[in-house]
């Protein structure tokens, strides 16, 4: 006796297990194509996969050499000195350098011999794609393309030829097929069209599996009749043959017999309607995903077009896609490292000696999405990823990957070997539908774990370009050169034109702040000008008198309320700094003396929300995934608990275009040639508002459009940080990271960003006078070729003591004036002739001793040790440097 079952099944594998024991799902049976010999149709198109022979299956993943593996694959493209090979049985690719004969595989050719890897890990090693998804109860589930597609007895993939490559079309999950196997058949029709047409032997078999049920049968008890009637309401009017519980093998046997009769699919549909049976089993997850592999200019381009992703969006949420997880993976016993662009860049050496026990590092490209949750902090104390790249060096070869599309939706994950497997790898994870899990503990909400997801699915491509390096080029220096050349060819970088024999000095002044004060017993906010426009001019005059010819000045807190500014959809110059008249006098001075002036404007945040200021929190603020308003606060201010109420109001990316237009309408009247849009180079977030959502890729596009419109040719632009999407619009970047996040897995911080930028963009690190160790930071600036940057105020820093800005603890200009001159002269003496020279090499010569080389042959050796060292016949004093020209 079969009962209607109501079971919540978290994974399609359990559905199969359930089917094996209970025998059915209802009117339409769901089985894998691998288990259905008669399946004729598939939603994927193209050349069918080849089922490997027993010998091929036994040998797979056990090849002794790369050449032996290549010999079993088919060449599908040849271009730019590379050959692309494909295995139509296992959906794997390989790239061969025709000159050096070096090879790179999507799956290590000997992975099945890895005694460290479990069967589950080996399935990941053999997978091209891994997905994370959620069912209707928001349970997180995972699949991989090997277990859930490739390894099926009848593989669920096809291939198509594309220009210089191949497209792999996959069905990942359980393929649903309709079988000619009625759950309940109307008795007279079944007897006429099936039983009467069968041999006596086959008729007996059918009667074993089907039972004729009639509610008028006196042998049926009342409880049994009630159960049948609940499952098959049609029994109130007609008698039915009801299928017993059967296995998948028995299903195929019964269908084979029924197909020899006159019973049709139309009869099946009629019986389904007449019986009234409704299955309550969960729908099995099935994801259609295509991956395109092509050779372009000697590179491998891997592309996943989202327009070819399909699945049941009523039942499931596709959250993440991991692509090419083990492409170019290195063997842990080899000499090599993973390159991750964390901060300035970091190297994670291969775990050869098994001294590392932590498996992963995970970094979000372009920094965290602060709209994911109301975390109230931005610009994390950790570094972020500014360039969407990564690399893997093994012995004398390397891969270097560039995320060309979908970069703002990505994370970069490194995985050390000798923990779960014997392979070292780094790879991208892309968001399709953003999800976020919150553990509520407060009294205002129901406690527990809640997962939110965004229905504003990413609708572009996930596109990764792999470049292949061999010999001396197979290094992080070669990777930096690769990316630099790529950006130049794309038009995002161009060589600097030397405007002066001097390196640029970057100065930043603070403008208006507000202090709590009282008058006649009443409390009020008193405006204090930390640096007026006239005082800023005095600072510049001082620097000019000291012989400095290349100065860039950024003004902070000069408009709309100063440091506690309102939203930037208009512009009002601060009167207590000198007003428009004072600003224009400063502007005229900078023009006459060829000084760069960059007044700061913030299109992401606002410190204050006042009436009629152009900002309506309910309309203009982004929402988190939990539909709360996103407020933010700097990490420096978190330590100042008395001022936690001074949070930033965030502005939705949907408002960028309107705010840019309105601001520049006012700003252009000043005829200022430059502007600073600081955190445009460090912050990128979504808006999860239901009515008009914006994902990060869309937010990036909106920002780029406005930078192109208002800053590309019209204004010189200065930014912070240097997120890659701002590079086409700027020649000046400050607060470029000078180190990595110092994660436990990291072995070396490297100047990857600086190697890409030097000679093409003027850049500086953090303000030297705000560093914890000025001497070491100066040495780091010399090693990394980073111009000097100082934040100063004309008034004493004690004015900041009772404000949210007390972290500017050492910015008194009178105190720092002489030190600025001394440090600048020291740096300028070294780099005056190098500002337009590319950085062509960087190497660690000894412990805490590094050498940087420029294209004119100049070498700078920096010694961070407390004692002198001699390297390459050159002695470098303690905490000092040597220039070899």
pLDDT at 771: 94
Q: What is the 3-state secondary structure (H, E, C) of 161-213?
A: EECCEEEEEEEEECCCCCCCCCCEEEHHHHHHHCHHHCCHHHHHHHHHHEEEE
pLDDT for 21-33, tens place per residue?
A: 333 333 332 333 3
Q: What backbone torsions phi and psi does residue 553 show, to the nearest 5 degrees? A: -115, 125
Residue 6 has pLDDT above 90, yes or no: no
pLDDT at 628: 85
In this prediction the pTM is 0.85
For the segment 486-509, the average pLDDT, to the nearest whole number, is 94
pLDDT for 499-540, tens place per residue?
A: 788 999 999 999 999 887 777 778 778 889 999 999 999 999
How much is the mean pLDDT over the chain?
Answer: 89
Q: How confident is the model at residue 586 (pLDDT cuts 50, 70, 90)?
A: very high
pLDDT at 517: 77
pLDDT for 267-325, tens place per residue?
A: 999 999 999 987 655 578 999 999 999 999 999 999 999 999 999 999 999 999 999 99
**Could you tell me what percentage of the chain is helix, strand and coil, using 3-state DSSP and rounding each to the nearest 5?**
30, 30, 45
pLDDT at 809: 83
Q: How confident is the model at residue 800 (pLDDT cuts 50, 70, 90)?
A: confident
Residue 653 has pLDDT above 90, yes or no: yes
pLDDT at 452: 85
For the segment 844-866, the average pLDDT, to the nearest whole number, is 97
Largest CA distance in the chain: 113
pLDDT for 132-142, tens place per residue?
A: 999 887 889 99
For the segment 580-596, the average pLDDT, to the nearest whole number, is 97
Q: What backbone torsions phi and psi does residue 61 show, to the nearest 5 degrees? A: 80, 10
Long-range contacts of range 825-834, CB-CB < 8 Å, 24 or more positions apart?
Answer: 826/778, 827/503, 827/778, 827/781, 827/782, 827/787, 827/788, 828/502, 828/503, 830/782, 830/860, 830/881, 830/883, 831/503, 831/782, 831/785, 831/787, 832/501, 832/502, 832/503, 833/501, 833/858, 834/785, 834/858
Residue 545 has pLDDT above 90, yes or no: yes
Contact 80, 294 (CB under 8 A): no
For the segment 36-65, the average pLDDT, to the nearest whole number, is 67
Q: How confident is the model at residue 378 (pLDDT cuts 50, 70, 90)?
A: low
**Nearest-angstrom CA–CA distance, 313 and 589:** 61
Residue 757 has pLDDT above 80, yes or no: yes
For the segment 118-124, the average pLDDT, to the nearest whole number, is 95
Q: How confident is the model at residue 634 (pLDDT cuts 50, 70, 90)?
A: low
């Amino acid at each position: 006796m079969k009962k209607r079952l109501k079971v919540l099944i978290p994974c399609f594998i359990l559905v199969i297990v359930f089917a094996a024991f209970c025998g059915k799902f209802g009117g339409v049976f769901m089985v894998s194509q691998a288990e259905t010999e008669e399946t004729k149709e598939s939603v994927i198109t193209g050349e069918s996969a080849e089922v490997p022979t027993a010998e091929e299956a036994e040998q797979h993943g056990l090849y002794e050499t790369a050449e032996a593996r290549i010999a079993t694959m088919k060449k599908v493209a040849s271009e730019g000195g590379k050959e692309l090979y494909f295995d139509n049985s296992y959906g794997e690719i390989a790239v061969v350098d025709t000159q050096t004969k070096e090879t790179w595989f999507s799956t290590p050719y000997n992975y099945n011999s890895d005694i460290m890897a479990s069967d589950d890990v080996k399935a990941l090693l053999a997978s091209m794609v891994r997905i994370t998804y959620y069912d209707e109860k928001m349970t997180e589930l995972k699949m991989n393309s090997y277990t859930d597609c490739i390894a099926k007895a009848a593989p669920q993939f096809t291939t198509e030829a594309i220009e210089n490559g191949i497209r792999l079309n996959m069905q990942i999950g359980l393929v649903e097929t309709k079988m000619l196997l009625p759950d309940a058949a109307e008795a007279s029709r079944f007897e006429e069209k099936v039983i009467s047409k069968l041999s006596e032997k086959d008729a007996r078999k059918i009667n074993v599996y089907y039972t004729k049920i009639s509610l008028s049968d006196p042998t049926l008890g009342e409880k049994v009749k009630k159960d049948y009637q609940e499952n098959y309401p049609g029994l109130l009017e007609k008698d039915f043959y009801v299928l017993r519980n059967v296995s998948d093998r028995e299903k195929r046997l019964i269908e084979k017999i029924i197909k020899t009769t006159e019973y049709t699919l139309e009869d099946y549909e009629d019986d389904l309607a007449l019986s009234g049976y409704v299955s309550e089993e969960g729908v099995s997850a099935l994801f259609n995903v295509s991956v395109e592999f092509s050779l372009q200019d000697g590179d491998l381009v891997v592309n996943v077009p989202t327009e070819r992703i399909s699945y049941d969006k009523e039942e499931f949420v596709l959250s993440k896609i991991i692509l090419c997880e083990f492409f170019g993976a290195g063997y842990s016993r080899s000499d090599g490292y993973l390159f991750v662009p964390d901060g300035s860049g970091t190297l994670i050496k291969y775990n050869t000696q098994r001294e590392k026990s932590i498996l992963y590092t995970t970094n979000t490209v372009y920094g965290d999405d602060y709209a994911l949750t109301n975390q109230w902090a931005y610009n994390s104390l950790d570094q972020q990823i500014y360039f969407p790249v990564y690399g893997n060096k093994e012995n004398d070869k390397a891969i270097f990957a560039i995320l060309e599309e979908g970069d703002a939706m990505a994370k970069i994950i490194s995985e050390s070997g000798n923990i779960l497997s014997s392979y070292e790898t780094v790879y991208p994870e892309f968001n399709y539908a953003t999800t976020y899990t919150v553990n509520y503990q407060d009294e205002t909400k129901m406690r527990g774990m809640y997962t939110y997801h965004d229905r504003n699915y990413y609708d572009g491509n996930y596109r990764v370009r792999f470049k292949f390096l061999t010999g001396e080029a197979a290094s992080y220096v070669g990777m930096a050169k690769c990316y630099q050349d790529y950006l130049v060819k794309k038009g995002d970088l161009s060589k600097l034109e030397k405007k002066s024999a001097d390196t640029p000095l970057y100065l930043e002044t603070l403008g208006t702040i507000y202090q709590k004060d009282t008058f006649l017993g009443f409390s009020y906010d008193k405006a204090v000008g930390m640096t007026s426009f006239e005082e800023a001019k005095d600072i510049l005059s001082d620097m000019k008198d000291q012989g400095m010819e290349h100065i860039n000045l950024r003004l902070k807190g000069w408009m709309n309320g100063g440091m506690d500014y309102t939203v930037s959809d208009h512009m009002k110059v601060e009167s207590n700094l000198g007003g428009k008249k004072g600003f224009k006098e400063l502007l005229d001075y900078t023009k006459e003396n060829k000084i760069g002036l960059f007044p700061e404007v913030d299109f992401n945040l606002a410190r204050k929300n006042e009436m009629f200021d152009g900002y309506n929190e309910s309309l203009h603020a982004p929402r988190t995934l939990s539909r709360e308003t996103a407020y933010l606060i700097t990490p420096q201010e978190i330590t100042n608990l008395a001022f936690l109420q001074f949070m930033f109001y965030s502005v939705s990316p949907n408002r960028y275009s309107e705010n840019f237009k309105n601001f520049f309408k006012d700003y252009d009247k000043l005829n200022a040639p430059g502007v600073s849009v600081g955190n445009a180079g460090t912050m990128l977030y979504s808006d999860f508002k239901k009515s008009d959502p914006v994902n990060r890729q869309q937010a990036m596009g909106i920002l780029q459009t406005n930078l192109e419109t208002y800053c590309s040719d019209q204004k010189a632009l200065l930014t912070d940080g240097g997120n890659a999407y701002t590079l086409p619009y700027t020649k000046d970047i400050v607060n470029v990271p000078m180190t990595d996040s110092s994660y436990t897995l990291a072995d070396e911080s490297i100047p990857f960003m600086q190697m890409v930028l030097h000679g093409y963009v003027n850049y500086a690190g953090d303000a030297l006078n705000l560093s914890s160790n000025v001497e070491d930071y100066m040495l780091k600036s010399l090693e990394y070729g980073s111009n000097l940057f100082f934040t100063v105020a004309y008034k004493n820093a004690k004015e900041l003591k009772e404000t949210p800005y007390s972290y500017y603890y050492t910015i008194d200009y009178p105190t720092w004036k002489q030190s600025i001159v001394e440090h600048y002269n020291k740096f300028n003496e070294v780099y005056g002739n190098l500002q337009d020279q590319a950085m062509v090499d960087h190497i660690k010569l000894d412990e805490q001793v590094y050498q940087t080389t420029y294209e004119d042959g100049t070498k700078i050796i920096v010694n961070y040790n407390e004692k002198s060292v001699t390297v390459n016949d050159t002695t470098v004093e303690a905490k000092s440097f040597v220039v070899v020209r």
